[in-house]
A and B are shown apart, each in its own frame.
Chain A
Amino acid sequence: MSRREGSLEDPQADSSVSPLPLLEAKIRQTHSLARLLTKYAEQLLQEYVQHQGDPFGLPGFSPPRLPVAGLSAPAPGHAGLPVPEQLQLDAGALAALPPLLEVVRRRQAELNPRALRLLRRLEDAARQARALGAAVEAVLAALGAEPRGPRLEPAAASAAGVFPAKVLGLRVCGLYSEWVSRTEADLSQLVPGGPA
């Protein structure tokens, strides 16, 4: 009995299942992780905002972009750098994020002790950032580049007062989302045939 093909949802879904070379497999896996964490980071940011109360959830609210000690947002010229340098910056930022996320989690545990899912997400985000950072460093090592760029020493990010603490948390969650998204974009340049 012959059958007619139905519509394909993913036109790129015809990749072979032959074993990939080790480096290619590692790049694909890391890229997939970055893409997954990008989604998780967005969910984390949404959930964080939901639990901070007004004015965080209000439309048009634009909190001040406070500088976070030891971590900055991806620079505008980041995309123009060579891929290894991009990944080195990504790895450095991903190494700096877990302590910041842990600080936010602890603060949120004080402010929103009942927001268990948020607390769990923050805990997971710290762990996942470490995993992604380690994976990026593994890719860098496989590419023959230095595993990590200048280490960003996380400062004792803290903010006195509830609102500044909430704003700091928002900023850290935002940075987390930006860096994993940036990492995904940087890794996509290495994925043979485009992202899986």
Chain B
Amino acid sequence: MLTLQTWTVQALFIFLSTESLGELLDPCGYINPESPVVQLGSNFTAVCVLKEKCMDYFHVNANYIFWKTNHATVPHEQYTVINRTASSVTFTDISLLNIQLTCNIRTFGQIDQNVYGIRIISGLPPEKPKNLSCIVKEGEKMTCQWDPGRETYLETNFTLKSEWATEKFDDCKTKRDNPTSCTVDYSPVYFVNIEVWVEAENALGKVASDHINFDPVDKVKPFPPHNLSVSNSEELSSILKLTWINSSIKSFMKLKYDIQYRTKDASTWSQIPPEDTASTRSSFTVQDLKPFTEYVFRIRCMKEDGKGFWSDWSAEESGITYEDRPSKAPSFWYKMEPSHTHGCRPVQLIWKTLPPFEANGKILDYEVTLKRWKSHLQNYTVNDTKLTVNLTNDHYIATLTARNLVGKSDASVLPIPAYDFQGNLAESKCYLITVTPVYDNGPGSPQSIKAYLKQAPPSKGPTVRTKKVGKNEAVLEWDQLPVDVQNGFIRNYTIFYKTNIGNETAVNVDSSHTEYTLSSLTSDTLYMVRMAAYTDEGGMDGPEFTFTTPKFAQGEIEAIVVPVCLAFLLTTLLGVLFCFNKRDLIKKHIWPNVPDPSKSHIAQWSPHTPPRHNFNSKDQMYSDGNFTDVSVVEIEANDKKPFPEDLKSLDLFKKEKISTEGHSSGIGGSSCMSSSRPSISSSDENESAQNTSSTVQYSTVVHSGYRHQVPSVQVFSRSESTQPLLDSEERPEELQLVDNVDGSDVILPRQQYFKQNCSQHETSPDVSQFERSKQVSSVNDEDFVRLKQQQISDHISQSYGSGQMKMFQEVSAADAFGPGTEGQVERFETVGMEAVIDEGMPKSYLPQTVRRGGYMPQ
């Protein structure tokens, strides 16, 4: 009321003042801006300017200005006096949507005068519209909708713009009541891409949405299929065929469908798999339906490729599948009528109507048959659900079938016992007693039980046998007793078992078992076992069964044998490996290479002793300690195979002398007297050449045969060695004596020599020699040279033997795989040089097989 009075006073004042000034509604001042629209949260400043004549009239200036918002005085802190006539007010963070701002002056007498008033409108600029989408309903024009974004609190206009590549369409202005969608006023043209966007505009700004470009045919919502009809098939009771008419849009657009159906009483819809209806069609057959059932269908469609929108659902249409024969026989029972005459009894047969899902159609009638024993048959066709017949006192079998338009159900069978039926039960016989309850609406589920009138012990005991016998356990098994020998309910079994000498042990087993494991048995023991079955009235033993536990458990023998075999195998393998590594040693001990005297060659004794001075240095180099062994070389002179090329090439350096000076042989300068019989020679002369520092030459005449064979001709051997001459050489008479004894004795003088050079076995000279022969390289190289010499001499006397080739190969192998020490190589060179020197001799010697000491003169 007070406010009203204030406004009235102010209006009167303004009216009077303007009247007095001779102008109509001439305010005392004004506010700038006049109609501001301010963004929420921003700052705003308004300026009030007083007119001079008003200032003079009221005797005021800008200092007298005060501001009010919605009739509340604004604090003076927000004022700014710009000059004498103007004062401003500033508002920060404007939050009110609508503010009434007035400029006022306080005149003399504390009278407040309103000068001017404005309304400040606040709001927000429009947000960019989002989610622009369009739909082209068939038969209608295109409608687009969008999300306008936040509330602006201002009047905001939305304009839907659209254009083709070739031309623009008229703008679509939204209506006030629906600013988020717009329907264009031109008909859509399918298959021409159109570009659409939305512009939002208000007093604070203008913004456009993203442009969308599409073919209107991809935004179509077609009319639903119409004239849907449903028809059934007499041939198939589980199908219904739908037919419909598509919308006219089908002429230029392929369609797919969504078909749903339900039974009439159901509330939820079932759906045809989409892949079955993914192409344009006007009919569809639904299968696997229930017979004689009413189904409701509906259908909708959309563009085949899924672009666009589903149509609305079509009108629902229903149809009933065709009938099928009843799937189940009706429930069936009987009642005995109380009235009974002699020889005849009335029986009422009663049954229930089948439920629709079992009747599969309309039941036309029921067919009842009564069969007395095995002869007489009576048929009745009944429309009702009961039938009363007069039967004799005999036993009957009644059957019932339901019939519909398609066929008959299976038959229900109901036995009707004879009138005087009574039990003739025997003892010890098992009876199955079945009780079927009969309710008003039909029979219930029957219950059965087995029973004996009186039990007795079984007439036979169970036959036990072993299923599996182990070292300490045995699995027994048995069969259930046949019903006719049980004579009662088998309550339990007892197993008796014992050994020959032990006590009998009994074990009780539940009657449900047919297997039991006896444990803690003794191995390798004979057991006797029998079994008894017990009813409530007693038991009966079965036949006795014997079995013997094995001595070893399964796998035990294998557990012993296999490791033993493996150990033996491993030992053997290690032995073989050891023997393989030591094969030379073993060979030397077990089957030494024994030269065949019959293949020996005669070497000529060279009267000239080759100069030895040039070997002195090397003789020193090969000290006693270096020389450890002597090799054995087999030579077969009969083999005339030529030497390989490399062997020949190795021999080139001697070739000239050989051809001009004849054949020479002897390593270390030793030479042998020639002999016409085979002989065995040794390479010991090399040792003598290398291992002795003395320059004394000696030769050994060896007279020996193969093993214990005594050669028939005396043999002489000369050995050139720097060793001091042995007694046998210095005293030929002793040698002569030696020649007459066993071969082993022949080397007696040499034994001492080897003792000096080798710290080998001393017990047997043969052993010492074999061990020395292990030294492959040096001696074999020597042998090679000797072989060459023999080869040359064979040019004269004999052909070469294959043994020579073999020897050469051994030498080569020794070169290749031997220790390869420099000493050995040098030794070879030494021997080679020695051989060259020897070739300078007028006579040559054939290299001889090593035989204890020295060469055998040929």
CB-based contact A17/B287 at 8 Å: no
Stretch at the interface among A28-36, A76-84, A144-152, A166-174: A28-36
Binary per-residue interface labels of chain B (197-228) against chain A in the complex, 1 for a CB within 8 Å, 0 otherwise: 00000000000000000010100000000000
Among B191, B246, B276, B282, residue most surrounded by chain A Cβ atoms (within 10 Å): B191
A145 to chain B: closest CB distance in Å? 19
Take A29-B191, A134-B166, A135-B192 as given contacts and tell me if A4 and B287 are in contact as well, using a CB distance cutoff of 8 Å. Answer: yes
CB-based contact B242/A17 at 8 Å: no
Question: Which residues of A lie under 8 Å from residue B192 when comparing CB positions?
Answer: 33, 128, 131-132, 135
Tell me, in angstroms, the Cα distance from A7 to B246 when the chains sit together: 13
Within 8 A of A (CB), among B221-266: 239, 241-242, 246, 250-252, 254
Within 8 A of B (CB), among A10-66: 10, 13-15, 17, 29-30, 32-33, 35-36, 39
CB-based contact B252/A3 at 8 Å: no
Q: Which among A7, A120, A131 is the interface contact of B282 at CB below 8 angstroms?
A: A7
CB-based contact A5/B285 at 8 Å: yes
Question: Which residues of A lie under 8 Å from residue B284 when comparing CB positions?
Answer: 3, 5-6
With CB as the reference atom, state the residue of chain A lying closest to B253. Answer: A32
Question: Which residues of B lie under 8 Å from residue A33 when comparing CB positions?
Answer: 189-192
Within 8 A of B (CB), among A92-131: 120, 124, 127-128, 130-131
Binary per-residue interface labels of chain A (140-172) against chain B in the complex, 1 for a CB within 8 Å, 0 otherwise: 000000000000000000000000000000000
B249 to chain A: closest CB distance in Å? 11
Take A29-B215, A32-B252, A131-B166 as given contacts and tell me if A3 and B282 are in contact as well, using a CB distance cutoff of 8 Å. Answer: no
Q: Which among A9, A39, A134 is the interface contact of B281 at CB below 8 angstroms?
A: A9
Tell me, in angstroms, the Cα distance from A17 to B273 when the chains sit together: 18
CB-based contact B283/A7 at 8 Å: yes
Main secondary structure of the interface of B (DSSP, over half): loop
Q: Which among B215, B280, B286, B288 is the interface contact of A9 at CB below 8 angstroms?
A: B280
CB-based contact B285/A4 at 8 Å: yes
Take A9-B246, A131-B166, A134-B166 as given contacts and tell me if A30 and B191 are in contact as well, using a CB distance cutoff of 8 Å. Answer: yes
CB-based contact B191/A1 at 8 Å: no
Question: Which residues of A lie under 8 Å from residue B282 when comparing CB positions?
Answer: 6-7, 9
Among A4, A14, A124, residue most surrounded by chain B Cβ atoms (within 10 Å): A4
B214 to chain A: closest CB distance in Å? 11
| Cβ of B650 under 8 Å from chain A | no
Binary per-residue interface labels of chain B (281-305) against chain A in the complex, 1 for a CB within 8 Å, 0 otherwise: 1111111100000000000000011
Tell me, in angstroms, the Cα distance from A1 to B276 when the chains sit together: 11
What's the tally of chain B residues with a CB closer than 8 Å to chain A? Answer: 38
Tell me, in angstroms, the Cα distance from A9 to B281 when the chains sit together: 5
With CB as the reference atom, state the residue of chain B lying closest to A1. Answer: B288
Question: Which residues of A lie under 8 Å from residue B283 when comparing CB positions?
Answer: 6-7
| Cβ of B270 under 8 Å from chain A | yes
Question: Which residues of B lie under 8 Å from residue A130 when comparing CB positions?
Answer: 164, 166-167
Among B192, B215, B305, residue most surrounded by chain A Cβ atoms (within 10 Å): B192
Q: Which among B215, B272, B280 is the interface contact of A3 at CB below 8 angstroms?
A: B272
B139 to chain A: closest CB distance in Å? 14
With CB as the reference atom, state the residue of chain A lying closest to B236. Answer: A4
CB-based contact A131/B164 at 8 Å: yes
B291 to chain A: closest CB distance in Å? 15
CB-based contact B286/A8 at 8 Å: no
Q: Which among A13, A128, A134 is the interface contact of B304 at CB below 8 angstroms?
A: A13
With CB as the reference atom, state the residue of chain B lying closest to A14. Answer: B279
Take A1-B287, A5-B285, A29-B215 as given contacts and tell me if A124 and B304 are in contact as well, using a CB distance cutoff of 8 Å. Answer: no
With CB as the reference atom, state the residue of chain A lying closest to B284. Answer: A6
CB-based contact A7/B281 at 8 Å: yes
Tell me, in angstroms, the Cα distance from A10 to B165 when the chains sit together: 33
Tell me, in angstroms, the Cα distance from A6 to B215 when the chains sit together: 31
Tell me, in angstroms, the Cα distance from A39 to B283 when the chains sit together: 26
Question: Which residues of B lie under 8 Å from residue A39 when comparing CB positions?
Answer: 251-252
Q: Which among A5, A10, A14, A36 is the interface contact of B190 at CB below 8 angstroms?
A: A36
| Cβ of B187 under 8 Å from chain A | yes
With CB as the reference atom, state the residue of chain A lying closest to B217. Answer: A32
Take A8-B279, A10-B279, A29-B215 as given contacts and tell me if A134 and B189 are in contact as well, using a CB distance cutoff of 8 Å. Answer: no
| Cβ of B306 under 8 Å from chain A | yes
B142 to chain A: closest CB distance in Å? 14
Tell me, in angstroms, the Cα distance from A14 to B286 when the chains sit together: 20
A119 to chain B: closest CB distance in Å? 13
Question: Which residues of A lie under 8 Å from residue B279 when comparing CB positions?
Answer: 8, 10, 13-14
Among A8, A131, A196, residue most surrounded by chain B Cβ atoms (within 10 Å): A131
CB-based contact A3/B286 at 8 Å: yes
CB-based contact A32/B191 at 8 Å: yes
Question: Which residues of A lie under 8 Å from residue B164 when comparing CB positions?
Answer: 127, 130-131, 134
B619 to chain A: closest CB distance in Å? 99
CB-based contact A6/B242 at 8 Å: yes
Tell me, in angstroms, the Cα distance from A112 to B791 when the chains sit together: 138
CB-based contact A6/B252 at 8 Å: no
Tell me, in angstroms, the Cα distance from A35 to B253 when the chains sit together: 11
Take A1-B287, A2-B287 as given contacts and tell me if A36 and B281 are in contact as well, using a CB distance cutoff of 8 Å. Answer: no
Take A3-B284, A29-B215 as given contacts and tell me if A36 and B252 are in contact as well, using a CB distance cutoff of 8 Å. Answer: yes
CB-based contact B254/A10 at 8 Å: yes
Question: Which residues of A lie under 8 Å from residue B306 when comparing CB positions?
Answer: 17
Question: Which residues of B lie under 8 Å from residue A4 when comparing CB positions?
Answer: 239, 285, 287
Take A13-B304, A29-B215, A32-B190 as given contacts and tell me if A8 and B280 are in contact as well, using a CB distance cutoff of 8 Å. Answer: yes
Tell me, in angstroms, the Cα distance from A67 to B299 when the chains sit together: 52
A152 to chain B: closest CB distance in Å? 17
CB-based contact B276/A3 at 8 Å: yes
Tell me, in angstroms, the Cα distance from A17 to B308 when the chains sit together: 14
CB-based contact B281/A124 at 8 Å: no
With CB as the reference atom, state the residue of chain A lying closest to B279. Answer: A13
Question: Which residues of A lie under 8 Å from residue B242 when comparing CB positions?
Answer: 6
Tell me, in angstroms, the Cα distance from A135 to B189 when the chains sit together: 13
Q: Which among A1, A13, A120, A124 is the interface contact of B254 at CB below 8 angstroms?
A: A13
CB-based contact A6/B288 at 8 Å: no
A96 to chain B: closest CB distance in Å? 14
With CB as the reference atom, state the residue of chain A lying closest to B283. Answer: A6
Question: Which residues of A lie under 8 Å from residue B270 when comparing CB positions?
Answer: 1
A89 to chain B: closest CB distance in Å? 19
Tell me, in angstroms, the Cα distance from A127 to B169 when the chains sit together: 10
Tell me, in angstroms, the Cα distance from A9 to B246 when the chains sit together: 10
Question: Which residues of A lie under 8 Å from residue B186 when comparing CB positions?
Answer: 124
With CB as the reference atom, state the residue of chain A lying closest to B192. Answer: A131
Q: Which among B193, B239, B246, B304 is the interface contact of A17 at CB below 8 angstroms?
A: B304
With CB as the reference atom, state the residue of chain A lying closest to B239. Answer: A4
B219 to chain A: closest CB distance in Å? 14
Tell me, in angstroms, the Cα distance from A137 to B282 when the chains sit together: 37
CB-based contact B251/A6 at 8 Å: no
Tell me, in angstroms, the Cα distance from A10 to B282 when the chains sit together: 10
Tell me, in angstroms, the Cα distance from A39 to B249 when the chains sit together: 12
Tell me, in angstroms, the Cα distance from A6 to B225 when the chains sit together: 15
With CB as the reference atom, state the residue of chain A lying closest to B273. Answer: A3
Tell me, in angstroms, the Cα distance from A6 to B186 when the chains sit together: 38
Q: Which among A2, A120, A124 is the interface contact of B288 at CB below 8 angstroms?
A: A2
Tell me, in angstroms, the Cα distance from A61 to B613 when the chains sit together: 148
Closest 10 CB pairs of A and B: A33-B191, A6-B283, A6-B284, A13-B279, A17-B305, A131-B192, A32-B191, A4-B285, A13-B280, A130-B166
6 more CB-based (< 8 A) A-B contacts, given A7-B281, A130-B167: A8-B279, A9-B281, A120-B187, A127-B166, A127-B189, A130-B166
Show 30 A/B contacts (Cβ-Cβ < 8 Å), sorted by A: A1-B288, A2-B288, A3-B286, A3-B288, A4-B239, A4-B285, A4-B287, A6-B242, A6-B282, A6-B285, A7-B281, A7-B282, A8-B280, A9-B250, A9-B282, A10-B279, A13-B279, A29-B193, A32-B190, A32-B252, A35-B252, A36-B252, A127-B166, A127-B167, A127-B189, A128-B189, A131-B166, A133-B166, A134-B164, A135-B191
> Which residues in A have some Cβ–Cβ distance to B below 8 Å?
1-10, 13-15, 17, 29-30, 32-33, 35-36, 39, 120, 124, 127-128, 130-135, 196
